[in-house]
Each structure stands twice: as structure tokens, then as C-alpha cells.
């Protein structure tokens, strides 16, 4: 019965895979990830994966380990969202977020990784659109990335 239903779907309707994921409806995003700590970058990439949600697909990652590299990459453009580590040194993600938001025209949305939940007010000051505290909860990180991805385009 379901095969008959699939054959009567309009041609322009999104097709679904065997997992039920709509193939034509995914938000495809390119992500810049900043942390001076490779283990933090690895943890974020593992938490987000290729598909942080059924309708969101990460198609490319760019990793930066220094603040100046982030500024240079964001100035070039091409990112749908940024994930910045507020605990990075010597350039922290909070100050970097505020700088990018004030200096880059149409700066992509930012997910800021803070040192603790109480640092949310600092994230608000930095103008970040989303915040996840350390220690990183993979579900929270993936959920925040998915939400930000849905706001792009």
C-alpha cells in the first residue's frame, strides 16, 4: 500500500530515503569551527556528525586554531554558521564573536562554547545566537547546530 502512495506523489515533492529522510529538503551547511584545542574540535565534529538532524547536513568543515585565522576565513565568506570556543586562548571565542558581529557584514550565526552555564550572559554580550557550555553535551551541540542551520537561507 505504501508503494502505491509513493508512486502517486507529485514529481516536485521531496523524495524520501529508506530511513525516512527527505532527500530534497536538507539544509546543507558549511561550518567554521574554532578552538585552540584539537580535542575540543574533535569533540564538536563528533557531536555534530554529518547530519545533526534529519533535515540538516554538514557538507564541509573548516577548522581554525587561531583568532586571526578565523577573521581571515570569515572575511572570505562562504560559511553558513560558526562554532567558536569561548575558552580558546589567547583569543577567546566570546571576544572574537563580538568582533566578527561588529566588523563582518552579514556575519553568519554563531554557536558559542562557554566554560560554564553561568557564562550565558557573556555569550549574550558577544552577540552569539546560540550557546552550549562545557563539558559539551553532544545532543545539545547537535541540536544547536541544527537550529542555527534552519535559520540560514
**pLDDT over 70 for what percent of the chain?**
83
Instruction: Note if the pTM is more than 0.85.
Output: no
Model pLDDT for residues 53-95, shown as the tens digit of each residue: 999 999 999 999 999 999 999 999 999 999 999 999 999 999 9
| Residues 125-140 pLDDT 10s | 999 999 999 999 999 9
Fold (topology level) of 25-151: Rossmann fold (3.40.50)
pLDDT tens-digit map of 8-40: 333 333 433 333 444 456 899 999 999 999 999
Burial class (CB in 10 A: 0-12, 13-18, 19+), 85: buried
| Spans of all domains in the chain | 25-151
Computed from CA positions of residues 136, 63, 147, 113, in that sequence, does the dihedral angle turn out positive or negative?
A: positive
pLDDT at 13: 35
Amino acid at each position: 500500500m505504501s508503494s502505491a502512495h509513493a508512486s502517486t506523489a507529485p514529481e516536485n515533492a521531496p523524495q524520501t530515503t529508506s530511513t525516512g529522510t527527505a532527500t530534497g529538503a536538507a539544509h546543507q551547511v558549511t561550518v567554521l569551527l574554532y578552538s585552540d584545542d584539537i580535542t575540543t574540535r574533535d569533540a564538536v565534529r563528533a557531536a555534530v556528525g554529518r547530519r545533526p538532524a534529519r533535515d540538516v547536513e554538514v557538507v564541509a568543515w573548516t577548522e581554525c586554531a587561531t583568532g586571526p585565522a578565523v577573521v581571515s576565513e570569515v572575511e572570505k565568506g562562504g560559511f553558513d554558521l560558526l562554532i567558536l570556543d569561548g575558552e580558546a586562548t589567547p583569543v577567546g571565542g566570546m571576544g572574537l564573536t563580538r568582533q566578527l558581529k561588529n566588523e563582518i557584514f552579514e556575519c553568519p550565526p554563531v554557536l558559542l562554547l562557554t566554560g560554564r552555564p553561568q557564562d550565558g550572559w557573556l555569550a549574550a554580550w558577544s552577540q552569539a545566537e546560540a550557546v552550549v557550555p562545557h563539558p559539551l553535551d553532544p545532543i545539545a551541540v547537535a541540536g544547536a547546530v541544527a537550529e542555527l542551520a534552519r535559520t540560514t537561507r
